[in-house]
Amino acid sequence: MRYVQRAAVAFGRFWWDFLIGDTPELFVGTLLVVGAAALLRHDRLAGLTVVVLLTVVFLLASTYRGRASAARGAADGNGAGQV
């Protein structure tokens, strides 16, 4: 029984790290884009427009956040801004 519990915990941690990882905002953004697509599945044009706009907004926000984080790391001198 102990082995099954440890295996279940390890499985859950793997999926948490795989899906959430270092950028939980991308996971939440993906859920919102998929949810919007599901809600607007009957109106093709509105669905396409909303899904594309949400995707662009989330990717731009993530890129901005990543660049700001890298700039802070470079300013702190910890090497996080280096490629």
Residue 81 lies in a domain: no
Q: Is 70 exceeded by the pLDDT of residue 68?
A: yes
Domain count, the chain: 1
Average predicted confidence (pLDDT) for the chain: 87
Residue 6 lies in a domain: no
Q: What is the pLDDT of residues 5-45, one digit of tens each?
A: 999 999 999 999 988 887 888 888 899 999 999 999 999 99
Q: Is 70 exceeded by the pLDDT of residue 78?
A: no
Would you state the pLDDT for residue 79? Answer: 56
Q: Which domain holds residue 28?
A: 22-72
How far the first Cα of the chain sits from its last, in Å, is 46
Residue 4 lies in a domain: no
Residue 66 lies in a domain: yes
27 and 20 Cβ atoms separated by less than 8 Å: yes
- What's the CA dihedral at 57, 16, 83, 63 to 10 degrees? 10
Residue 16 lies in a domain: no
User: Residue 23 and residue 26: Cα distance in Å, rounded?
Assistant: 6
Residue 39 lies in a domain: yes
Residue 62 lies in a domain: yes
Residue 5 lies in a domain: no
